[in-house]
């Protein structure tokens, strides 16, 4: 189990760091949790779609990189650069004083709730960069252990969406407070910089 632990932990930390950023999807899930409406289907659909995209990224991009080995070095540096960029973006958010806006009316039926969840999940170009491309490329660095990375990232998505949806009422005093997001984004930045360093130093195809 020891040999798969780095891949599992890296997937968990990378997945969490990417998914907790302020965005429309998180605002929607949190809003539904605060309203107590269609919480289970919203959390389930969000987590399922995210995990599916992660698996597709690891399977498709992982196979491609295995067939063209020299690309591993390229995606290593692109991945490290993306991690650094994401960390810098998190620090900028931390200094901007943003908070998560959860105002507005939510869907009135379970059907519209599911459609809205799918819309927020899939009609955001960033989700494909983060899950299919980026996580797929990072996972490929772990070679045969890349599926443990995928498992860690998927667990991060499932934990986050269900925690956000069902913990919304407990989080409600904090989400409107810029200080909460300032601390969270700073922690995310530190994790991202650490992951970038680990990626650069990690042997290829570990």
Domain boundaries, the chain: 2-201
Q: List all residues 6 or more positions away from 91 whose beta carbon is below 8 Å from its beta carbon.
A: 185, 186, 189
Q: What is the mean pLDDT of residues 133-152?
A: 87
Residues in the chain: 206
Please tell me whether the overall predicted TM-score, pTM, comes out greater than 0.85 for this model.
no
Higher pLDDT, 155 or 201: 155
Average pLDDT over residues 28-36: 82
What pLDDT was estimated at residue 131? Answer: 82
Which residue's entry shows tokens 């930045």?
189
């Amino acid at each position: 189990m020891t040999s798969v632990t780095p891949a599992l932990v890296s997937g968990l930390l990378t997945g969490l760091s990417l998914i907790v950023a302020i965005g429309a999807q998180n605002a929607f899930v949190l809003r539904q949790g605060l309203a107590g409406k269609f919480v289970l289907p919203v959390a389930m659909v969000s987590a399922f779609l995210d995990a599916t995209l992660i698996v597709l990224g690891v399977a498709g991009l992982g196979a491609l990189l295995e067939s063209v080995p020299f690309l591993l070095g390229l995606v290593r540096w692109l991945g490290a650069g993306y991690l650094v960029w994401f960390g810098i973006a998190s620090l900028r958010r931390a200094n901007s004083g943003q908070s998560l806006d959860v105002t507005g009316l939510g869907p009135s039926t379970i059907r519209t709730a599911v459609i809205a969840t799918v819309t927020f999940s899939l009609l955001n170009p960033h989700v494909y960069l983060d899950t299919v491309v980026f996580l797929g490329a990072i996972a490929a660095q772990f070679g045969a252990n890349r599926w443990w990375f995928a498992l860690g990232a998927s667990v991060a998505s499932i934990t986050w969406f269900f925690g956000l949806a069902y913990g919304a009422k407990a989080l409600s005093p904090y989400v409107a407070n810029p200080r909460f997001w300032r601390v969270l984004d700073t922690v995310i930045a530190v994790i991202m910089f650490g992951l970038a360093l680990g990626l650069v130093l990690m042997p290829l195809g570990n």
